């Protein structure tokens, strides 16, 4: 299996040389692309080096066995060889997983969009908690978080929230969070103590480069307004907030995080590209039944993926049948166990398909 890694190692070495080229350093956009690909390939190089080290151990043990009759040395060499050979099967499995078809967006930054669905005030309050949960998780991972839009309700809930998360493998980690999240609990406003069920929708949108996705200016209506809420002092003293409507689809995006109207427009356009790309992706998913065989869920935004049952302290993901009884900890952004299980299920399905 080690031979299958060689093309990736050669490409990594080629990019290492390219990154030292003065011409590349003068084009920062191209440099970022090369650096991103270089970082992605490092995983293949690390595994190649581990595999090669084990093969060298086996070779060294074989040489000892061929050259000596010393009983003690023979026993040590046989033990070393057996230990090395036991690692080969695990390394082979790691290579198989690494060579599985990858989502081209796995290394992309993302926009996380959270909206309340059914349940009125309770849905908006839970939406705010989910938004903060993802924000805390991203910060714990050392990723960069920008709140693009955050509109509050009168009760302190969330009308709509959008954040941009930048870091290594963000989309790969979060892509299965898209869908309907259901909460079951007793609302603070409920005097009878009855458990209510509400829903919130989450969309994980990979960021799309401008060069990859062109939008015609004539298809846009751009409005400016005075920002409010999140954004810090001074953000609501000028008409710096931007709202962009994509006329052919009716998609509306807004950004009020920056004081600069130009920066808000750039960020809003980036969100719009991500939403349009997601719309086309959702259409392709609906038309491609074969793709769903290698997915943890259907990939449909309307799919109910998870239930947060507060009276039982339970979080259940319906796609993989996993329940965790640590809901308070989970809502503080400690969601790695769930995300790891989803990733492992995706790998399992892809291996079965292969």
The answer for residues whose C-beta is within 8 angstroms of residue 264's C-beta and 6 or more apart is: 240, 241, 242, 255, 256, 257, 258
Condensed to tens digits (0 to 9), the pLDDT of residues 131-183 reads: 999 999 999 999 999 999 999 999 899 999 999 999 989 999 999 999 999 99
Condensed to tens digits (0 to 9), the pLDDT of residues 72-92 reads: 999 999 999 999 999 998 999
What's residue 234's pLDDT?
43
Distance CA 261, CA 291 (A): 41
110-353 CATH: 3.30.70.1660
pLDDT > 90: percent of the chain? 64
CATH 1.20.58 domain residues, the chain: 2-98
The answer to whether 172 touches 106, Cβ cutoff 8 Å, is yes
Condensed to tens digits (0 to 9), the pLDDT of residues 248-306 reads: 999 999 988 767 888 889 889 999 999 998 888 777 766 665 555 556 766 666 789 99
**Cα dihedral sign, 32-37-40-44:** negative
Distances (CA, A) of 60 to 3, 55, 82, 89, 91: 20, 9, 12, 19, 19
The answer to whether 163 touches 135, Cβ cutoff 8 Å, is yes
DSSP reduced 3-state for 327:
helix
Taking the C-alpha atoms of 210, 114, 324 and 169 in order, what is their torsion angle to the nearest 10 degrees? 10
Phi, psi of 110 (to 5 degrees): -135, 160
Residue, of 82 and 239, whose pLDDT is higher: 82
Q: Which of 214, 212, 186 is nearest to 311 (CA)?
A: 186
Pairing between β-strand 179-185 and β-strand 304-309 as defined by DSSP bridges? parallel
Q: Which of 325, 334, 86, 316 is nearest to 182 (CA)?
A: 316
Fold of 2-98: Methane Monooxygenase Hydroxylase; Chain G, domain 1 (1.20.58)
Distance CA 228, CA 74 (A): 77
Condensed to tens digits (0 to 9), the pLDDT of residues 210-237 reads: 656 678 999 999 998 876 655 444 444 5
Pairing between β-strand 314-317 and β-strand 304-309 as defined by DSSP bridges? antiparallel
Question: Which H/E stretch holds residue 242?
Answer: strand 241-246
Both tokens of 268, joined, read 């809003």
CATH 3.30.70.1660 domain residues, the chain: 110-353
């Amino acid at each position: 299996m080690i031979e299958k890694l060689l093309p990736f190692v050669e490409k990594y070495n080629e990019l290492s040389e390219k990154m030292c080229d003065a011409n590349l350093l003068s084009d920062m956009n191209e440099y970022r692309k090369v650096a991103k690909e270089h970082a992605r390939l490092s995983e293949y190089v690390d595994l190649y080096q581990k595999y090669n080290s084990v093969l060298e151990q086996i070779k060294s043990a074989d040489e000892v066995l061929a050259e000596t009759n010393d009983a003690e040395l023979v026993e040590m060499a046989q033990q070393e060889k057996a230990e090395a050979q036991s690692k080969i099967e695990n390394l082979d499995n790691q290579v198989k997983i690494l060579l599985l078809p990858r989502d081209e967006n796995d290394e992309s930054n993302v926009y996380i969009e959270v909206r309340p669905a059914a349940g009125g005030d309770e849905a908006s309050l839970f939406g705010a908690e989910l938004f903060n949960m993802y924000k805390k998780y991203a910060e714990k991972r050392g990723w960069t978080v920008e709140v693009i839009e955050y509109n509050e309700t009168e009760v302190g809930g969330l009308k709509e929230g959008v954040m941009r998360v930048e870091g290594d493998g963000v989309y790969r980690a979060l892509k299965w969070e898209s869908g309907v999240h259901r909460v079951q609990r007793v609302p603070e406003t409920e005097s009878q103590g009855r458990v209510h069920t509400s829903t919130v929708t989450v969309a994980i949108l990979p960021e799309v480069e401008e060069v990859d996705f062109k939008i015609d200016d004539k298809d846009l209506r751009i409005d400016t307004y005075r920002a409010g809420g999140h954004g810090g002092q001074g953000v609501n003293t000028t008409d710096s907030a931007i709202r962009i409507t994509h006329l052919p689809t009716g998609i509306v995006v807004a950004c009020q995080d920056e004081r600069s109207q130009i920066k808000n427009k750039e960020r809003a356009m980036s969100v719009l590209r991500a939403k349009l790309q997601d719309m086309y992706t959702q259409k392709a998913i609906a038309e491609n039944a074969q793709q769903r065989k290698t997915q943890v869920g259907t990939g449909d935004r309307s799919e109910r993926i998870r239930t947060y049952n507060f009276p039982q302290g339970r979080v259940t993901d319906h796609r993989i049948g996993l329940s965790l009884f640590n809901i308070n900890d989970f809502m503080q952004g400690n969601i790695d166990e769930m995300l790891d299980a989803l990733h492992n299920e995706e790998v399992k399905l892809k291996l079965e398909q292969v």
